[in-house]
Structure 1
Amino acid sequence: MLYLYGREPHTLLPQPQDKDAIATGGELRFHPLRGEWNVYAAHRQNRTFKPAASADPLAPTKPNGPATEIPFEDFELAIFENKFSALHPLAPNPPVLNGISSETASGACEVIVYTPDAEGSLHTIGQDRRLLLITAWIDRYRSLFARGCDYVLPFENRGDEVGATLHHPHGQIYGFGKVPLVQQAAIDAFAAGYDLAEEISRAMPGYGLAEEGGMAAYCPRYARFPYEVWIAPQQRRAGPWECSEAEIEGFATLLGDVTRRYDAFFGRPTPYMFALHSAPRESGDTYHFTAQFYPLLRGPDRVKYLASVEQHTGVFTVDVMPESAAMALRSV
């Protein structure tokens, strides 16, 4: 499926496109010592890897040009099913493994293309396109929840250091059939009474970068990554679908502002992992929505590696104090 989002009516003539096979997901296996479900999707090993600019699969399809994933000459913002999907509504039944719990990897994997331009960032695409992006995220939340996904995660992997295999400005959306372990821990913390709005009020302005329309961009006092930044409504909202028009405007502004600050501070396009953490389909009455940036740099030429301690224990060693990070990014 292909979904096109835009501000203006378009006369979009579809170009010829080959019929490609789309993977229908992998399988889930339960890790008994970590209490988590992981996805096994061997077909993703052969996914598109750093194609030449002339073979950009996320570009518009031009007349007499190579076919792409978007068979139109022009578009504003596009979302399509990932053909190398790890989660899928038609996922096959997994094989029976003695002593191992396994289930079908039901869900959805989508690619969201921010712009037809081959280069850009959340900053350079501009405020209007960021507002369109947020509108598209909200639409996909509602659609995937309606399809039965328990948890929806829009995210972006930016840069070679993160493992991005396509440089065209884009993100992804995963719809999970089960709430992931990390998100379940957050759900439990909010249900137990953790007040993120109060924490934000304590952190501002000392740990803050900017405020706009009831939204705050700040370095969490308990950040795990050097220069980690969160954007969050200053009053509890379960997800962007609950935000006011002013909060949506502020969210869009801060998405561009944080990305601009990173690139200016590090002096190059900053590799990061970015995701929206919203309430699940159910039990979201106490959840507080955040958008979280995890940069993969601790200096302009120094990568923050997730090495043995982080990977084996989940205990992160943070090289830059959050208060220092806030001061540095605020000064940009």
Structure 2
Amino acid sequence: MRHHPLRGEWNVYAAHRQNRTFKPATAEDPLAPTRPGGPTTEIPFDDFELAVFENKFAAFHPSADNASDLAGSACEPASGACEVVVYSPEPTGSLFTIGQDRRNLLIAALLDRYEALFGAGLDYVLPFENRGDEVGVTLNHPHGQIYGFKRIPAVQQRAIDAFAAGFDLSSEIMTAMPDFGIGEEGGIAAFVPRFARFPYETWLAPRARREGPWECTDEELESLAYWLGEITRRYDSLFQRPAATMMAFHAAPRSGSANYHFTIQFYPLLRAKGHVKYLASVEQHTGTFTVDVMPESAAVQLREIGRHA
């Protein structure tokens, strides 16, 4: 890892990832079960419900090599963890199509990994999913990932600081509902944030403040599982194709955080059917996003899809 002195961020250098597996044929799917007479995959079973294992092309590793010695630049080993979470033995599908029982199992598995990775001394854990060619997905088999960070990433640290300074997400949700709301089930609100950076950006959050999913009630966890599938379904319906999205769990760090409020955030990479939301010069160089769809309009469209399901 090398520190960027002007951005105050740490970048990870993992040159071995350059030649990672890219869009293999179905017969060579490394996330499929290992069938009798077939190729040996990453999963040494002929069937499974859910699989979690270490990423072969990891950016972070618990026994990372010592950092390079660059004069005048801060460097350190890229210590941490990178895991793959395979949702199903089937080669196609989504968080919606795998069904509620398997989504509940996914949530249970993530709770286990939070406990294990925090227990290993990692300061921040980020479960996430990349979906779609526009996001750069290299394996089409439905799966997510988990990164365990030795350092809290800069974006997450800014959120931690904002909550500690008094930002109240429960009040924000109350203010945003119903105009920016998509729906509510079991104490979990699904809504388009009034300050969304992506067209059709959607957040899931408990109405009551929770530091992470580990503090959620059974009813809230059941509802989180439901909304993971339902938001995926609505995006696919809105864009009339498997929608390119970046989804991640934003929870408190290992040591906890004052006033922190857990969210799951979806960032679609499409702004309309057949139109990609490109992150071009202004967004990339300044962090100032230009959003092509008003958040209140996005919320209306996503609500309407639910009514016509």
Using structure 1 for the length normalisation, give the TM-score.
0.91
CA contact (8 A) 2:211 2:256 kept: no
* Distance (Å, rounded) in 2 between the aligned partners of 1:81 and 1:283: 26
Aligned residue for 1:18? none
* Distance (Å, rounded) in 2 between the aligned partners of 1:108 and 1:327: 39
Aligned residue for 2:162? 189
- Which of residues 158, 168, 177 in structure 2 aligns to 1:204? 177
* Distance (Å, rounded) in 2 between the aligned partners of 1:267 and 1:213: 28
Partner SS, residue 273 of structure 1: strand
Aligned residue for 1:260? 233
* Distance (Å, rounded) in 1 between the aligned partners of 2:113 and 2:156: 19
- Which of residues 80, 100, 113 in structure 2 aligns to 1:127? 100
Alignment RMSD (CA, Å) = 0.6
Q: Deviations for 1:198-236, whole angstroms, at most 9, x for unmatched residues?
A: 001111111111100000110000000000000000110
What is the CA distance between 1:284 and its match in structure 2? 2.2
* Distance (Å, rounded) in 2 between the aligned partners of 1:82 and 1:105: 14
Q: Is residue 37 of structure 2 the alignment partner of residue 64 of structure 1? A: yes
Aligned residue for 2:251? 278
Aligned residue for 2:289? 316
Give matches, 1:163-174, under 5 Å: 163-174=136-147
Q: Is residue 192 of structure 2 the alignment partner of residue 219 of structure 1? A: yes
Partner SS, residue 137 of structure 1: helix
Q: Deviations for 1:114-161, whole angstroms, at most 9, x for unmatched residues?
A: 001111111110000000000011110010000011000000000000
* Distance (Å, rounded) in 2 between the aligned partners of 1:42 and 1:182: 24
- Which of residues 68, 71, 84 in structure 2 aligns to 1:95? 68
CA contact (8 A) 1:219 1:322 kept: yes
Runs of 4+ in 1 over 3 A off after TM superposition: none
Give matches, 1:147-186, under 5 Å: 147-186=120-159
CA contact (8 A) 2:163 2:258 kept: no
* Distance (Å, rounded) in 2 between the aligned partners of 1:229 and 1:66: 39
CA contact (8 A) 2:33 2:48 kept: yes
For 1:124, the aligned partner's letter is T
Partner SS, residue 205 of structure 2: strand
For 1:159, the aligned partner's letter is G
Aligned residue for 1:229? 202
Aligned residue for 1:295? 268
What is the CA distance between 1:293 and its match in structure 2? 0.3
Partner SS, residue 115 of structure 1: coil
Q: Share of identical aligned residues, percent?
A: 69
What is the CA distance between 1:276 and its match in structure 2? 0.3
* Distance (Å, rounded) in 1 between the aligned partners of 2:74 and 2:257: 28
Aligned residue for 2:116? 143
Partner SS, residue 282 of structure 1: coil
Partner SS, residue 230 of structure 1: strand
Q: Is residue 79 of structure 2 the alignment partner of residue 79 of structure 1? A: no
Q: Deviations for 1:240-264, whole angstroms, at most 9, x for unmatched residues?
A: 0000011011111111111111001
What is the CA distance between 1:314 and its match in structure 2? 0.6
- Which of residues 299, 302, 306 in structure 1 aligns to 2:279? 306
Q: Is residue 20 of structure 2 the alignment partner of residue 47 of structure 1? A: yes
- Which of residues 199, 204, 219 in structure 2 aligns to 1:246? 219
Partner SS, residue 276 of structure 1: strand
For 2:268, the aligned partner's letter is P
Partner SS, residue 128 of structure 2: strand
CA contact (8 A) 2:193 2:202 kept: yes
Aligned residue for 1:328? 301
Using structure 2 for the length normalisation, give the TM-score.
0.98
The answer for unaligned runs of 5 or more in structure 1 is 1-27
* Distance (Å, rounded) in 1 between the aligned partners of 2:178 and 2:89: 37
CA contact (8 A) 1:210 1:254 kept: no
